[in-house]
A and B are shown apart, each in its own frame.
Chain A
Amino acid sequence: MEIYKRILKEALDKGFQEAIVRVLESERTMTKIANSEPSVVQHWRSLDIGLYLVKDKRIFIAEVRGLDPSGTEYTLNQLFSIADKLRESELYAPLPEPGKPVEVGNLVDKNIDKYIEDPSSLAEEVISTAHEERIDYIAGMIDLKHEKEYIASSKGFEGMHEYTSMESYIRAFAGEEGSGQWSTCSTKLRRDKLAEMARIAARYAVDSKSRVDIEPGIYDLILSPMVFGNLLDYISYMASGFSILTGMSMFIKNKPGDKVASEKFTLIDNPHEPELPGSRGFDLEGVPTIRKPIIEKGILATILHNSKTAAKFSASTTGNAGWISPEPWNLIVEPGDYRLEELISEVKKGILINNNWYTRFQNYVEGEFSTITRDALFFIENGEIKTAVRKIRIADKLGNILRNIDGLTKERYDVKWWEISYPTRAPYILVRGVNTSKHTI
């Protein structure tokens, strides 16, 4: 795979002063399931080319999908011809010196290749495992991928990152109202994780069959890793220097060292966890990745940076590039010391929430948001689950949620799905005094 070096040479010969070329070569099969049968099986063999180019401090990004080499040549010509008509980027900073990529290792499982060719037995297993409970049907998907990423930069960096991934989520339905959802992810083909996912989703569906209405108000909430994982997406997005610069962060008013959360809460970005598919040894600027706390014992510890946002903040890159916007790799919440039953026993009046979706902000700077629950919810009174209840919204400030964390389980789950963008390892989490809301008519 020398194409990336050739394109880099072409870009520099053309007259761009700095360049990074990224070539993604992947093979992927996704089986979608609905009504406990496959609704479609999708396959992609892709070659995606990304270009980061600089001429006289003007920054250009190009995405070219296609194997026709004239495509990148055309794009380079097109960008070069317009370069002088743009202005210098306010984000411009010279590319950083590349470092030696970290050897993460153990990110490829050849077993996955076999199931990319024919995933039918995995689909069958997931369906049959879920149906061991008295459910009606399941929906979901199993996504298998093998990807190689090649990066070359004008700073002399050359790197190759290869990994496989298994991502899956299942939603089980039982009776008129019962439903439960769970997800999993790994760099390996993990049948045990698929089976655990199917069982948890099915169990939640069965347990939430008979529901009653609940009045909105202030409750202690136990958020499952699925729910908290979704909120972590927004928390980590807001911890990006780019989000702060563009007014999309509640941390706009904060600096590292500020207390922003309960001291019981620590969130790590760990790109070196071989089990999680976001792991990698170098970022998109060729900088070695590092494990770092984003929030440590309640203190904002790290703003995620690439070289450009770092320059704006007079800081150093954290190895999280993103050519424009820095991003986390794997989000890991440090565990607590509770078992789930013990966490429930800490609640006088509260709700345990299996899943949520549609998180939207009135104002990112203030952290004002709401999200609507879906799947199983259980009302907790005096330390015991009393009954399954119907949907309700969490409608509060994200800052309040972080500050009011009061307990976490020891056991954590690796989750990723539609509403969780980054591979996430999270426990169940108890948040005190959260505002909930519901339709008035």
Chain B
Amino acid sequence: MSAVDVAGVWKFYGDYPALRDIRFDVHPGQCLALLGRNGAGKTTLLKILAGLSTAQKGDVKVFGRSVRDSAARGSIGVLGHGIGVYDELSAFENLKLFANLYGLADAEGTARAWLKRVTLENVADALVREFSRGMRQRLAVARTFLHEPKLLLLDEPFTSLDDRSIALLQGVMAESLARGATVIMSTHQLREAMELASHVVLLNRGRLSFHGARPDEMLADPTWLYRQYGEG
């Protein structure tokens, strides 16, 4: 069974087709880099995969289920453009809240363990509004990974992260892949992405230009795929 099955997805903003008949599947354990220029449809596709938006045509299945199925959503971790944590709650309260919403048996223990993992244990009871940008990003990483998701949807995860947060994120992503999780990440930072990606999807103005195993040429020259299949 595919981890993600995207079957003929169309999405329109007004009359403009942001996604045009997108079809691909991702098998469990794969790390898929979702590439494309700005406006190619990467974020739109990730929003549909996360259940934040619906496709006008076509269908998306996550582990054989609709993305709006509670069980499917419980197996997904999403790191988007917003950090998705509450400024007026403490770091601990935020992680405990999401641990509870994901139905984890030991919500407090899990929250404490992840605060330690992202080195925020000393400020566990401080309100997030007092945090620096880097601390907020590390908390967002903890929020995304705390329920050990089987599918990770990461929308430009390395953008504007500091070095410490990039190292942390690469570490937890590698751990997730090692335990068999599936990762789909959109990114413009090709070098970081190519270190982890086993497969690549290239979108070009809402159309699927390429889907397959990461070409070896991309290790030496990450922009190779754009020149071959994209807009150059």
Tell me, yes or no, whether A binds B: no
**Chain B residues engaging chain A, CB cutoff 8 angstroms:** none
